[in-house]
């Protein structure tokens, strides 16, 4: 810690920081543009100017950029002297000479960093009296809107997109005052993290195109702290509503999880919530079609139907712990099935077993950035856990960055560090079934059948710990295993990444073995497993039966009632099995968000709340429990599934009337391991002073007017009895605890950058701690090595081993139904190994016929996907391949050209 | 009077071949240097007082001394010759490049030896085609003669060299912009620190020196620091190639002892003003230096002397303003150049220079307002040294701020008369 | 006008030769653009994309560099490019007269190409021959101490 003197006051600050970070962390208002806590300093915008003095006697000082000056002991600076203030105002004036001042029609208005900094700097009147330069805008795809005239050339967009996220198709063009940020030709921004431009850009150049379609100012949004439901990582989001529709998703900073960013699936995959296909009211099957009925009627009838019957419950990894638990309580543990087939469920159980053992560190998503050597087994993380890919890209730079430290270049001097690092990457190995996007930063890649990926993993483990069983692999693989083992052992913090996506238990075990072996060698090793869905881990913490078992237990007396919770079974397994299963039941109650194949078979459909209309807890891949809150109370019957369940349970059931928190309490009583979930968020009766935390900013407008077309008297705002949040603008206006922070705002800070004020140190932990509770941090069991080694894969003649290929846009059910994401779905295809294709006499684009679930599909051939001989790949989760249970053997036929 | 840099340069548009150069004692200094410790070469150069002739005037020996030597240092190291010469009104390096390329190469190789570099680049501006031919041929000859490549002149020292021809942009002359250009990137400047001596080309220790600076080096090594110091009239050491352009009788270049007076250059060497033209002012060292006026005729043209007079020696090439040329027009021309050549990286330069140019344009075209003078004065403060990322914009402010000082009435006249007094209708 | 602006095998070889000299292929970006321009006079969008493939860069990254530099022509130019120095010394020595004469004679403005595709007229910052101002460069030839009479003679040499 260093003593620093700012405007004659003494403060303490960390010497590893620069002066801008120090000032912001101390809560001082110093404007900036080009700096960003995650992108560090480049000194281009010249906005963070302060006066620095040589010593106590120096009265004149020198103008310096705070972001380029290290914190040193006894350094003396002033933010307040005229010279510094004047320069900052002048600089804004210069930035604004070409800015269109179109705030009234700009989507950024009211949450614009440029507006904030302009006010902060005190610049008011423009003296520039000449023509402004103008640019043309580009079409950038369905996610991002482009308005180049607003650009202030801070370079943050390209630095994020290119340098940080590895994007290729956004750059800076031209020179002098004709600098253009965009693509070399109009077209869709391809990078999976493009949406962050919306928050990275300090003004309205890059804005959210989905928001534009139903635009609302920040101050008119009702917001809730939420958790992204689109993959298993559990990134934190702010979801916002107006007039009953979800308007946008922003990243909600969590220093342990997603930090500042989100992937595009997470940001733009929300619009299914507003879909026309939403189930908004209860429906009942009559004459083979579903007819809308009154809520009361639905409740009464269902109660009657279920009365005294045997109940079968099918849970869901998309539903909250609370909803799953309540269903389990109602139907009884032995009748509750996780709505997941065994092939996947067993793997999740395995992951839980390993993670829970506490044998090696399971890093948080954010911590991934701190590892200096990485080995990925089997997982195409860009498509199965996108934000993990983003963080791994940062980890890749850790080893080369040490060179910069050796030259005394501070880590925050981004441009200088990058110059030393050049394009170099640290040890990064990928063994996968196909080519992956991260291959471009890999030291070496290995492409093989999942079994052989696992075998390579076992060979690496053996190379680290020779007592582990040996794998006889090819010379090439053996050498690779040696060098991977060497690199992992040389590293300070080696990280092993694997997951369930290839349905290979061997891969999961091999990954664990490597991490265990490294740990034994006293390495600070990390083991990161990707889980498929938002609550996959949570679901298997409270259930142990699979869908297949439900299918096997035939409904003998024909009188059991089936309750399906937030789960389209036709996406889980093949159509025939689901058809057979559902046929067995006369009474099927389905709680669903959207019409789907399963709702078609329901006798009653109840409108379940999505993340936007429900409260609940989910558990991510690392075992972190997090709470999400409903954003608004819709004007229909949609509500949390657990509420529906309470309502349709027979009156008098213990669970039927209790409060949300009692559900959690009961859950913890049943599963003491989950005790932590009680402290995930403050209780419903938590108050700041006497006040609740408002979901609406205090400048929310139009409340008295928004319903006047229906009724001139203002309806009473809905009450939230389930949480410490209120649905109105009244309440506590300071900084609440992280778990219940619905939006960021601080006096003078209307933009997303207001987050600075919520952090103890900029870019660090939130005041009161980051939200979420890790459930498995204690060493729980003594798990041993996995000694079983799979046999090597041998290709078959005339038959191929079909593997799932994942797509960030498309493989996930709900996000894919959001219009913007839907535009980005891949066309269905069949991916072939080049030599297999050559042998079969087919080329790129040829149509092949395959039989999936009894139906013949014609799919065009895609080559160069890096698949190994004897395997083919099919896109996972697209309409055409949905329900396919990977992996399986398949044959194909070439279809003659018409 | 000794003219070590130019005495052998022929004025028939040909350059000294390797043979010719060797006849003048060429590459003897290199042989001598290779027998010294690298540190001692640097020491000699440091003692000679040689200051960078690229404009900033930094001690060459000190710059070399910043590069880490020894076993455990980052490699490869690079040595770069800055032959970008795009400063308006400057044309001195061209003479040395076109006339005696081996002299430059010898200086470069000695410099590379002093910092133990493995690669050397000559970075040349695009328009110098003749120079490019000369350097290309000279590099070939040097390889053939064993002055480049392995075991240079029988020593253990190894150096590879090649020519890089730029594709425009004044920013390529700024040493870190130049490094980015050499790496195939946009020529934005880089943050300093770290200085190129620590992290330069491809992130490795690098020295960048001006052409003229390096041409001095063989002579310093051959004749010693004492001799070099004795060449100049002041204590800064050496000769300087001065030049003059504008309405003087004999525009051209002259190698003179560092520290001759402005009067001597203008009167004796440039031959005074052309008939019908009166002297009004002069930019002493290229487009980004402050004006000097008739009151400054006795200023000694060395770093300290010009500095004391409120300007900079810069490149030492005078741009002479006469009474029939509009000073506002002249400054406008310069500011347009600087605005055009800004890399666009930092705010003051990217936005301030075009604003400055547009304001001057308005004044020049009779559309100026008195408020515009405040704007211009504001710009000179806003873009003063330290406020911008590199020295381009502060340099650009030098002719403007001094013109506002010395030619204030001319600006006001434009505004009051709503036209340029020099423009004939 | 060269509309065919693809990278031939010959150009490709030349570029491949160049990147051998650099620690990374991408460092040969400017050189690659120069090679293309040497053969085709300018650099088309197609050529940018092909160069991107050779250097394993994105077209965006190539264009980012290409558009920074003033002497990489991203639009077609004539058979001969006239670069008239418009910097301070030449300006003082009657640049405007020279510029006006050229524009008139060729019936084009700066930045334009004659209809017969013979000349493209551009300005250029200081050619470094200020003692012999005004000056211009046609292709690779420097012409100094210009007068309007001289210009007629000079242009005859460029068909
Ligand atoms: C905008 C700008 C342009 C420059 N152009 C040149 C140039 O063309 N030639 C040159 O030698 N130095 C130029 N310099 C100075 C260089 O940055 C650097 O100081 C010089 O090359 C170092 O060599 P020296 O120490 O031998 O003078 C320029 C500086 C700036 C700020
Ligand atoms: S587009 Fe936005 S982020 Fe990019 S430079 Fe302009 S203002 Fe900065
Ligand atoms: S934030 Fe410091 S210069 Fe931009």
**Average pLDDT over all residues of chain B:** 97
Rounded-to-integer distance, Cα A497 and Cα A375, Å: 6
Q: What is the largest CA-CA distance in chain C?
A: 51
User: Is the domain of A394 the same as that of A305?
Assistant: no
Q: Are A217 and A109 in contact (CB under 8 A)?
A: yes
Give the per-residue SS3 of A194-212.
HHHHHHHCCCCCEEEHHHH
User: Is the domain of A374 the same as that of A448?
Assistant: yes
The pLDDT > 90 percentage for chain B reads 98
Contact residues, chain A to chain C, C-beta under 8 Å? 162, 168-175, 180, 183-185, 422-423
B118 in contact with chain C, both atoms CB, cutoff 8 A: no
pLDDT category of residue B301 using cuts at 50, 70 and 90: very high
B neighbour chains, 3+ CB pairs within 8 Å: A, C
The pLDDT > 70 percentage for chain B reads 100
Of C19, C47, C68, the residue that ends a domain is: C68
User: Is the domain of C102 the same as that of C136?
Assistant: yes
Three-state DSSP class for residue A506: helix
User: Is the domain of C141 the same as that of C93?
Assistant: yes
Three-state DSSP class for residue A141: coil
User: Is the domain of B207 the same as that of B103?
Assistant: yes
Rounded-to-integer distance, Cα A640 and Cα A650, Å: 18
Residue C133, in any domain of the structure: yes
Q: Determine how β-strand A2-6 pairs with β-strand A75-78.
A: parallel
pLDDT category of residue C8 using cuts at 50, 70 and 90: confident
Nearest ligand for residue A35 CA: 3
Rounded-to-integer distance, Cα A618 and Cα A772, Å: 10
Of B170, B201, B230, the residue that ends a domain is: B230
Rounded-to-integer distance, Cα C124 and Cα C145, Å: 16
Q: Are A81 and A52 in contact (CB under 8 A)?
A: no
Of A661, A679, A697, the residue that ends a domain is: A679
| Res A898: pLDDT | 47
On chain C, the residues whose CB falls within 8 A of the CB of A183 are 60
User: Is the domain of B196 the same as that of B80?
Assistant: yes
Q: Tell me how close the Cα of C23 comes to any Cα of chain A, in angstroms.
A: 10
Residue C109, in any domain of the structure: yes
| Res C5: pLDDT | 61
pLDDT of C3 above 70: no
Cβ partners under 8 Å of residue B418, min gap 6: B366, B367
Cβ partners under 8 Å of residue A95, min gap 6: A33, A45, A47, A114, A152, B347, B351
B-contacting residues in C 27-86 (Cβ below 8 Å): 27-31, 33-34, 64-65, 68-72, 83, 86
| Cis peptide bond prior to A533, omega within 30° of 0 | no
Supply φ then ψ for residue A156, to 5 degrees: -65, -35
On chain A, the residues whose CB falls within 8 A of the CB of C23 are 422
CB contact under 8 A, A409 and B199: yes
Q: Determine how β-strand B279-283 pairs with β-strand B317-322.
A: antiparallel
Q: Ligand 3, residues A17, A18, A20: which to mutate, most atoms within 8 A of Cβ?
A: A20
Residue C90 marked in a binding site: yes
User: Is the domain of B185 the same as that of B43?
Assistant: yes
| Residue among C48, C61, C68 whose CB faces A175 most closely | C68
pLDDT of C4 above 60: no
| Residue among C24, C60, C69 whose CB faces A168 most closely | C60
Rounded-to-integer distance, Cα A211 and Cα A189, Å: 17
Rounded-to-integer distance, Cα A29 and Cα A7, Å: 13
CA of A66 to the centre of ligand 3 (A): 7
Residue C130 marked in a binding site: yes
Three-state DSSP class for residue A119: helix
Residue B423, in any domain of the structure: no
User: pLDDT (tens digit, 9 = 90+) per residue, A178-224?
Assistant: 999 999 999 999 999 999 999 999 999 999 999 999 999 999 999 99
User: Is the domain of A592 the same as that of A641?
Assistant: yes
Q: Are A257 and A365 in contact (CB under 8 A)?
A: yes
Q: Is the pTM of this model over 0.90?
A: yes
Domain that holds residue B308: 239-322
| Residue among C22, C69, C89 whose CB faces B89 most closely | C89
User: Is the domain of B281 the same as that of B361?
Assistant: no
User: Is the domain of A548 the same as that of A623?
Assistant: yes
| Res B425: pLDDT | 64
User: Is the domain of B114 the same as that of B162?
Assistant: yes
Arithmetic mean of pLDDT, A628-648: 96
Residue C3, in any domain of the structure: no
A neighbour chains, 3+ CB pairs within 8 Å: B, C
Rounded-to-integer distance, Cα B347 and Cα A129, Å: 18
Residue C74, in any domain of the structure: no
Residue of A567, A637, A625 whose CA lies nearest to A599: A567
CATH number at residue C13: 1.10.10
CA of B199 to the centre of ligand 1 (A): 18
On chain A, the residues whose CB falls within 8 A of the CB of B191 are 42-43, 68, 413, 415-416
Of B273, B293, B322, the residue that ends a domain is: B322
Q: Are A160 and A196 in contact (CB under 8 A)?
A: yes
Of A626, A649, A679, the residue that ends a domain is: A679
Residue A719, in any domain of the structure: no
User: Is the domain of A461 the same as that of A338?
Assistant: no
User: Is the domain of A586 the same as that of A481?
Assistant: no
User: Is the domain of B348 the same as that of B406?
Assistant: yes
Three-state DSSP class for residue B87: coil
Cβ partners under 8 Å of residue B147, min gap 6: B27, B30, B105, B106, B109, B153
User: Is the domain of A479 the same as that of A559?
Assistant: no
User: pLDDT (tens digit, 9 = 90+) per residue, C120-156?
Assistant: 999 999 999 999 999 999 999 999 999 999 999 999 9
Residue B425, in any domain of the structure: no
Residue with tokens 């806003």: B382
Q: Classify residue B265 by its DSSP letter.
A: I
Arithmetic mean of pLDDT, A72-79: 97
Cβ partners under 8 Å of residue B237, min gap 6: B48, B49, B50, B51, B225, B228, B229, B231, B258
Q: Tell me how close the Cα of A379 comes to any Cα of chain C, in angstroms.
A: 25
Residue B205, in any domain of the structure: yes
Residue B279, in any domain of the structure: yes
Residue of B403, B242, B239, B245 whose CA lies nearest to B334: B403
Q: Ligand 3, residues A48, A91, A415: which to mutate, most atoms within 8 A of Cβ?
A: A48
Three-state DSSP class for residue A9: strand
- Convert C100-122 to b/e letters by CB count within 10 Å (16 or more is b): ebbeeebebeeeebbeeeebbbb
Q: Are A836 and A860 in contact (CB under 8 A)?
A: no
User: Is the domain of B277 the same as that of B347?
Assistant: no
CA of B200 to the centre of ligand 1 (A): 15
Rounded-to-integer distance, Cα A374 and Cα A360, Å: 15
Residue A172, in any domain of the structure: no
On chain B, the residues whose CB falls within 8 A of the CB of C89 are 88-89, 245-246, 319
User: Is the domain of C93 the same as that of C58?
Assistant: no
pLDDT of C34 above 70: yes
CATH number at residue B214: 3.40.50.11540
Q: Are A174 and A121 in contact (CB under 8 A)?
A: no
User: Is the domain of C113 the same as that of C62?
Assistant: no
CATH number at residue B294: 3.10.20.600
Within 10 angstroms of residue A511's Cβ, the number of other Cβ atoms is: 31
| Res B198: pLDDT | 96
pLDDT of A428 above 50: yes
User: Is the domain of A617 the same as that of A670?
Assistant: yes
User: Is the domain of B212 the same as that of B310?
Assistant: no
User: Is the domain of B376 the same as that of B404?
Assistant: yes
Residue of A487, A490, A261 whose CA lies nearest to A365: A261
Nearest ligand for residue B215 CA: 1
B180 in contact with chain C, both atoms CB, cutoff 8 A: no
Residue C18, in any domain of the structure: yes
Supply φ then ψ for residue B165, to 5 degrees: -100, 125
User: Is the domain of C107 the same as that of C58?
Assistant: no
pLDDT of A295 above 60: yes
Q: Are A663 and A325 in contact (CB under 8 A)?
A: yes
Q: Are C112 and C120 in contact (CB under 8 A)?
A: yes
pLDDT of A461 above 70: yes
Torsion angle in degrees (nearest 10) through CA of A307, A308, A310, A312: 30
CB contact under 8 A, A177 and B198: no
* CB A65 near ligand 3, within 6 Å: yes
On chain A, the residues whose CB falls within 8 A of the CB of C63 are 171, 173, 184
Residue A376, in any domain of the structure: yes
B398 in contact with chain C, both atoms CB, cutoff 8 A: no
Three-state DSSP class for residue A855: strand
User: Is the domain of C84 the same as that of C17?
Assistant: no
CATH number at residue A864: 2.40.40.20
CATH number at residue C115: 3.40.30.10
pLDDT category of residue C7 using cuts at 50, 70 and 90: confident
On chain C, the residues whose CB falls within 8 A of the CB of A189 are none
CATH number at residue B341: 1.20.1440.230
Arithmetic mean of pLDDT, B92-116: 98
Q: How many CA atoms lie within 13 A of C48 on its CB side?
A: 20
Question: Closest residue of C to A175, CA-based?
Answer: C68
Q: Ligand 3, residues A30, A33, A94: which to mutate, most atoms within 8 A of Cβ?
A: A33
Residue C75, in any domain of the structure: no
User: Is the domain of C95 the same as that of C152?
Assistant: yes
User: Is the domain of C53 the same as that of C92?
Assistant: no
* CB B84 near ligand 1, within 6 Å: yes
CB contact under 8 A, A94 and B198: no
User: Is the domain of A335 the same as that of A381?
Assistant: no
User: Is the domain of B336 the same as that of B318?
Assistant: no
| Cis peptide bond prior to B178, omega within 30° of 0 | no
Residue A717, in any domain of the structure: no
User: pLDDT (tens digit, 9 = 90+) per residue, A773-815?
Assistant: 999 988 777 899 999 999 999 999 999 999 999 999 999 999 9
**DSSP secondary structure, A188-256, as one string:** ----TTGGGHHHHSSSSSEEEHHHHTT---GGG-EEEEEE--SSTT--EEEEEEETTEEEEEEE--BTT
Residue C29 marked in a binding site: no
| Res C1: pLDDT | 40
Domain that holds residue C96: 80-156
User: Is the domain of A550 the same as that of A671?
Assistant: yes
**DSSP secondary structure, A75-118, as one string:** EEEESSSHHHHHHHHHHHHHHHSS----GGG-TTTTS-HHHHHH
Question: Closest residue of C to A168, CA-based?
Answer: C58
Q: CA separation (Å) from B167 to B8, B124, B211, B212, C6?
A: 31, 9, 19, 22, 21
CA gyration radius, chain A: 28
CATH number at residue A32: 3.10.20.740
Of A95, A128, A152, the residue that ends a domain is: A95
Q: Are A498 and A530 in contact (CB under 8 A)?
A: yes
User: pLDDT (tens digit, 9 = 90+) per residue, A718-772?
Assistant: 999 999 999 999 999 999 999 999 999 999 999 999 999 999 999 999 999 999 9
CATH number at residue A612: 3.40.50.740
Number of domains in chain A: 4
Residue C4, in any domain of the structure: no
User: pLDDT (tens digit, 9 = 90+) per residue, A354-412?
Assistant: 999 999 999 999 999 999 999 999 999 999 999 999 999 999 999 999 999 999 999 99
Arithmetic mean of pLDDT, A550-572: 93
User: pLDDT (tens digit, 9 = 90+) per residue, A693-720?
Assistant: 999 999 998 887 888 888 888 888 899 9
- Convert A824-845 to b/e letters by CB count within 10 Å (16 or more is b): bbeebbbbbbeebbeebebeee
Rounded-to-integer distance, Cα A599 and Cα A581, Å: 14
Residue B424, in any domain of the structure: no
User: Is the domain of B115 the same as that of B196?
Assistant: yes
Rounded-to-integer distance, Cα A801 and Cα A832, Å: 11
Residue B265, in any domain of the structure: yes
Number of domains in chain C: 2
* CB A39 near ligand 3, within 6 Å: no
Rounded-to-integer distance, Cα A23 and Cα A327, Å: 51
Rounded-to-integer distance, Cα A524 and Cα A526, Å: 7
Residue of A2, A26, A10, A46 whose CA lies nearest to A762: A26
Residue C150, in any domain of the structure: yes
A689, exposed or middle or buried, with CB in 10 Å at 0-12, 13-18, 19+? exposed
User: Is the domain of B38 the same as that of B168?
Assistant: yes
User: Is the domain of C35 the same as that of C61?
Assistant: yes
Q: Classify residue A282 by its DSSP letter.
A: -
User: Is the domain of C152 the same as that of C85?
Assistant: yes
Number of domains in chain B: 3
pLDDT of A897 above 70: no
User: Is the domain of C94 the same as that of C61?
Assistant: no
Domain that holds residue A72: 2-95
Rounded-to-integer distance, Cα B17 and Cα B138, Å: 7
Residue of A108, A99, A111 whose CA lies nearest to A149: A99
Within 10 angstroms of residue A72's Cβ, the number of other Cβ atoms is: 12
Arithmetic mean of pLDDT, A330-339: 96
Q: Which site among C67, C72, C75, C111 would you substitute to test the A interface, given the most A Cβ atoms closer than 10 Å to its Cβ?
A: C67
User: Is the domain of C50 the same as that of C84?
Assistant: no
């Amino acid at each position: 810690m260093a003593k620093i003197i700012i405007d004659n006051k003494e403060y303490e600050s960390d010497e590893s920081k620069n002066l801008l970070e120090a000032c912001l962390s101390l809560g001082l208002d110093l404007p900036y543009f080009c700096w960003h806590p995650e992108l560090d300093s480049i000194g281009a915008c010249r906005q963070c100017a302060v006066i620095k003095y040589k010593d106590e006697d120096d009265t004149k000082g020198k103008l310096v950029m705070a972001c380029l000056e290290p914190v040193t002991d006894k350094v003396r600076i002033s933010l307040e002297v005229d010279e510094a203030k004047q320069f900052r105002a002048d600089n804004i004036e210069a930035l604004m000479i070409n800015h269109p001042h179109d705030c009234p029609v700009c989507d950024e208005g009211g949450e614009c960093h440029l507006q904030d900094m302009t006010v902060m700097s005190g610049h008011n009147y423009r003296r520039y009296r000449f023509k402004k330069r103008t640019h043309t805008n580009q079409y950038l795809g369905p996610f991002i809107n482009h308005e180049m005239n607003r650009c202030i050339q801070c370079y943050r967009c390209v630095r994020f997109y290119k340098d940080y996220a590895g994007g290729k198709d956004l750059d800076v063009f031209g020179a002098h005052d004709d600098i253009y940020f965009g693509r070399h030709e109009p077209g869709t921004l391809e990078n999976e993290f493009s949406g962050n431009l919306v928050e990275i850009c300090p003004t309205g150049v890059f804005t959210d195109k989905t928001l534009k379609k139903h635009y609302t100012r920040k101050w008119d949004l009702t917001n809730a702290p939420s958790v992204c439901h689109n993959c298993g990582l559990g990134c934190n989001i702010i979801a916002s509503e107006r007039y009953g529709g979800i308007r946008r998703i922003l990243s909600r900073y969590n220093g342990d999880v997603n930090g500042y960013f989100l992937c595009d699936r997470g940001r733009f995959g929300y619009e299914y919530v507003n879909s026309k296909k939403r189930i908004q009211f209860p429906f009942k099957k009559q004459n083979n079609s579903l007819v809308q009925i009154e809520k009361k009627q639905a409740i009464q009838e269902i109660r009657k139907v279920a009365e005294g019957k045997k109940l079968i419950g099918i849970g869901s990894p998309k539903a909250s712990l609370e909803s799953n638990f309540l269903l389990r309580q109602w139907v009884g543990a032995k009748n509750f099935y996780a709505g997941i087939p065994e092939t996947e469920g067993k793997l999740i159980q395995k992951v839980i077993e390993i993670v829970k053992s506490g044998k090696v560190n399971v890093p948080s998503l954010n911590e991934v950035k701190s590892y200096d050597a990485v080995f990925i087994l089997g997982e195409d993380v860009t498509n199965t856990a996108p934000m993990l890919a983003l963080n791994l890209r940062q980890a890749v730079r850790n080893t080369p960055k040490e060179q910069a430290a050796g030259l005394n270049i501070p880590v925050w001097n981004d441009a200088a560090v990058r110059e030393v690092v050049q394009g170099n990457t640290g040890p990064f190995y990928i063994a996968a079934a196909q080519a992956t996007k991260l291959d471009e930063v890999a030291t070496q890649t290995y492409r093989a059948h999942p079994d052989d990926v696992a075998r390579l993993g076992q060979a690496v483990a053996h190379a680290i710990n020779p007592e582990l069983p040996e794998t006889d692999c090819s010379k090439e693989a053996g050498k690779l295993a040696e060098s991977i083992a060497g690199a992992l052992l040389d590293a300070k913090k080696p990280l092993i990444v694997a997951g369930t996506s290839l349905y290979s238990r061997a891969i999961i075990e091999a990954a664990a073995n490597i991490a265990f072996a490294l740990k034994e060698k006293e390495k600070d090793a990390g083991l990161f497993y990707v889980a498929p869905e938002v609550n996959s881990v949570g679901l298997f913490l409270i259930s142990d039966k699979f869908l297949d078992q439900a299918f096997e237990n035939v409904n003998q007396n024909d009188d059991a009632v089936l309750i399906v919770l937030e789960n389209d079974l036709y996406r889980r397994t093949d159509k025939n099995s689901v058809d057979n299963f559902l046929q067995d039941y006369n009474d099927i109650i389905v709680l669903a968000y959207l019409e789907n194949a399963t709702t078609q078979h329901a006798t009653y459909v109840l409108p379940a709340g999505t993340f936007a209309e429900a409260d609940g807890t989910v558990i991510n891949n690392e075992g972190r429990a997090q709470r999400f809150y409903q954003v608004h109370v819709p004007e229909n019957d949609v509500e949390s599934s657990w509420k529906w369940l309470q309502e349709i349970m027979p009156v008098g059931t213990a669970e039927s009337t209790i409060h949300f928190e009692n559900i959690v309490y009961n859950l913890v009583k049943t599963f003491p391991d989950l005790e932590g979930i009680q402290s995930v968020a403050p209780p419903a009766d938590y108050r700041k002073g006497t006040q609740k935390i408002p979901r609406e900013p205090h400048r929310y407008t139009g409340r008295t007017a928004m319903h006047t077309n229906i009724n001139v008297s203002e309806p009473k705002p809905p009450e939230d009895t389930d949480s410490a949040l209120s649905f109105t603008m009244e309440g506590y206006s300071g900084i609440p605890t992280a778990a219940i922070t619905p939006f960021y705002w601080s006096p003078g800070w209307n933009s997303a950058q207001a987050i600075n004020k919520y952090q103890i140190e900029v870019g660090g932990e939130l005041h009161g701690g980051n939200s979420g509770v890790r459930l498995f941090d204690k060493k729980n069991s003594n798990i041993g090595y996995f000694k079983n080694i799979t046999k090597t894969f041998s290709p078959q003649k005339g038959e191929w081993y079909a593997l799932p290929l994942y797509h960030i846009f498309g493989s996930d059910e709900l996000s894919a139904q959001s219009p913007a994401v839907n535009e980005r779905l891949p066309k269905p295809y069949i991916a072939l190994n080049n030599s297999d294709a050559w042998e079969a006499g087919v080329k790129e684009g040829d149509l092949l016929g395959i039989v999936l679930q009894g139906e013949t599909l014609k799919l065009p051939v895609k080559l160069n996907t890096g698949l190994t001989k004897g395997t083919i790949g099919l896109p996972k989760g697209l309409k055409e391949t949905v329900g396919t249970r990977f992996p399986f053997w398949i044959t194909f036929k070439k279809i003659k050209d018409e | 009077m000794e003219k070590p840099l130019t005495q052998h340069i022929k004025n028939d548009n040909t350059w000294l071949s390797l043979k010719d150069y060797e006849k003048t004692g060429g590459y003897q200094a290199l042989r001598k240097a290779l027998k010294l410790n690298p540190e001692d070469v640097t020491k000699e150069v440091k003692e000679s007082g040689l200051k960078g002739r690229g404009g900033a005037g930094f001690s060459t020996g000190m710059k070399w001394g910043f590069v880490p030597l020894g076993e455990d240092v980052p490699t490869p190291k690079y040595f770069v010759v800055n032959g970008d010469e795009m400063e308006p009104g400057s044309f001195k390096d061209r003479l040395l490049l076109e006339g005696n390329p081996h002299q430059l190469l010898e200086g470069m190789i000695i410099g590379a030896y002093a910092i133990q570099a493995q690669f050397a680049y000559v970075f040349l501006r695009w328009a110098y085609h003749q120079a490019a031919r000369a350097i290309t041929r000279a590099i070939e000859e040097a390889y053939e003669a064993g002055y480049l490549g392995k075991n240079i002149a029988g020593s253990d020292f190894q150096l590879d060299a090649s020519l890089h021809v730029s594709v425009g942009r004044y920013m390529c002359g700024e040493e870190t912009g130049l490094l980015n250009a050499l790496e195939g990137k946009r020529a934005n400047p880089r943050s300093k620190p770290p200085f190129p001596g620590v992290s330069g080309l491809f992130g490795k220790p690098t020295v960048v020196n001006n052409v003229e600076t390096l041409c001095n080096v063989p002579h310093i090594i051959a004749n010693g620091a004492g001799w070099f110091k004795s060449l100049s009239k002041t204590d800064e050491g050496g000769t300087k190639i001065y030049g003059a352009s504008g309405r003087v009788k004999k525009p051209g270049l002259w190698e003179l002892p560092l520290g001759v007076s402005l009067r001597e250059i203008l009167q004796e060497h440039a031959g005074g003003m052309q008939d019908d033209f009166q002297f009004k002012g002069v930019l002493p060292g290229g487009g980004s230096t402050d004006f000097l006026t008739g009151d400054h005729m006795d200023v000694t043209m060395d770093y300290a002397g010009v500095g004391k007079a409120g300007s900079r020696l810069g490149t030492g090439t005078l741009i002479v303003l006469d009474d029939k040329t509009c000073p506002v027009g002249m400054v406008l021309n310069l500011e347009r150049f600087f605005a055009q050549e800004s890399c666009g990286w930092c705010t003051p330069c990217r936005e301030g220079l075009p604003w400055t140019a547009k304001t001057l344009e308005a004044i020049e075209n009779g559309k100026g307002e008195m408020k515009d003078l405040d704007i211009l004065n504001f710009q000179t403060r806003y873009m003063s040294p330290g406020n911008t990322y590199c020295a381009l914009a502060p340099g650009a402010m030098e002719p403007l701020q001094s013109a506002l000082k010395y030619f204030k009435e001319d600006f006001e006249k434009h505004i009051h008369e709503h036209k340029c007094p020099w423009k004939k209708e | 006008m060269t509309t065919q602006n693809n990278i031939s095998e010959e150009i490709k070889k030349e570029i491949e030769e160049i990147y051998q000299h650099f620690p990374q292929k991408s460092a040969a970006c400017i050189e690659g653009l120069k090679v293309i321009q040497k053969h085709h006079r300018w650099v088309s969008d197609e050529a940018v994309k092909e160069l991107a493939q050779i250097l394993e860069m994105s077209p965006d990254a190539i264009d980012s560099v290409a558009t920074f530099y003033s002497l990489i022509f991203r639009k077609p130019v004539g058979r001969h490019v006239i670069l008239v120095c418009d910097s301070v010394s030449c300006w003082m020595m009657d640049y405007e007269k020279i510029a006006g004469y050229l524009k008139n004679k060729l019936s084009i403005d700066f930045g334009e190409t004659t209809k017969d595709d013979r000349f493209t007229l551009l300005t250029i910052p200081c050619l470094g021959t200020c003692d012999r101002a005004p000056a211009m460069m046609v292709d690779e030839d420097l012409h100094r101490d210009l007068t309007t009479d001289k210009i007629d003679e000079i242009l005859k040499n460029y068909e």
